[in-house]
Structure 1
Amino acid sequence: MLAIVGIVVLSSCRVDIVLDVSVDPDGTGTMSITATADADVIQRVPTIADDLVLDDIVDAGWVVDGPTPTPDGGLVITFTHPFEGADEATNLLRSLGPPFADPELGRGESGDVTTNTFTGKFGLPGGFAAFADEELISAVGGVPFDEEFAAANATPADSITAAVRATLPGEILDDGTNGTVTPDGRLEWSVPMDGSILELSARAEQAPSAGGSWARPLSIVALIALVAWVAFMTVFIGYVTIARWRRSRRYHRRAA
């Protein structure tokens, strides 16, 4: 990742990254990462699409779309992964790395109401060094491209943009949500690249749909009917058993 960032930054190019998380009413959903490089990247590194090694990403269950040329001569690639619940989604989010740090997707139920939450602390407080893990820094004796970045006065804010979008089922609650609602109903945040941290938070309450409001009363009626039927059958079987016992006693008396 840092090698790609180094190529982009030192070539005065630009990359836009968008994380999109979509949760369905049943708690399943999909997430995608879309990275778009401008035309300068392709001009300076024409073989970048062929040089990408994505085997590990595909093996981890991500579906890759691209790299595909953009109308303005750039390149776009999208990685998509489904998830079966909040825990799996959180694990996937935390595997992304900077600038998407400490994300968590939550889901809980209280009575008939389901609450969906999305939180995280996103940004690059360590600058370009955030893209390098401790093993890489230890192996090369420092942050790769560190001197080149300093000589070029390069900063993440000059070469990278990042955004987060989320679609949560139910009603978005103002209390607990700090994202901007887009016209299509999604929440959106801009991730700072200047060293500051975005403490992202979103909260939505998902009540039973109006079309299904009949389901709970009907289930209660069905339960009452079942209990009444079991009680009736218990009494009826007991009555038959006692009646047969009495008839048997009368028969034995007559025979005697």
Structure 2
Amino acid sequence: MFTRLAGALVRAIMIVVVILTPSLLLPGTTAESAQLATLVALAFAMIIMFEYGAKYPGLIEFRNAPPFNRIRVIALFLMLFGLSIIIGNGNEGSTLTVIITALGFLVGRALDFPYSPLRVVLDYLPQGVDPTLAVQIQAMAGLVMLVTLISLFLFAALLRLENWPNRGTAFNVWVNLPTFDPTAGGDVVKRLNRDGRVNVIFGLTAPFIIPVVVVMASNQVQVSLTGSPQTMVWAMTLWMFLPLSLIMRGQAMLRVARMIRARRARLVAGVATNASGSVLSSSTA
């Protein structure tokens, strides 16, 4: 129990650090923004404490199937950290800033082709935006897309090479998928495959839909997305982090469906083998 509580505390502290990263790195952060970020960070920290400190599952999925959630948290931190460096220190010319900005800009240029998600973001920039800010936004978009692609590649490699989530222990569907009810009706494998495909499809289409929805919402509430560095950082991060989470969740559910199907096949083969052995023994006798 002590080990579980200590692990929950460490995870809660890490979440606080991740969420507060833009507030700590971006210059000119107001007291109101810092207080709001702190409240949000503490709220998420409390959720993490209760989820990982409790014996029974609640809302967080795949909590006993590392490194699913670790990949997502690391990707979120890298996005927030990199974007904060680009937008906050763009004029200082430090070595770290130059490297991150150049990397993001190169990836942004490479992915800037017709009908790409990055092209959608650039097309929805306000009219008359400053060219320097437009270049920074392109570098920011390229950086978050790079982190997303690397995270997806790493998780796909774990699925293929490391046979995730088999870690020498049985996979508990109830603990790792607490919001999925296997007794709700219908075959559980078909439902997992369906939900997994739906998550992957939503994850692939979300980068095209999110910019349109965000721009329409900002126009309705009359809030400028480019007016606040923190708003830009969080908007650009969520633009790629939400699709990353959906695609990873879909891949994980498809993997669980394959595991259950393979388990069923082994059980059926075992029953058939025992039945044939019993028939053979009876005929011999």
Higher share in helix = 2
Larger Cα Rg: Structure 1 or Structure 2? 1
TM-score, length of structure 2 as denominator length: 0.22
TM-score, length of structure 1 as denominator length: 0.24
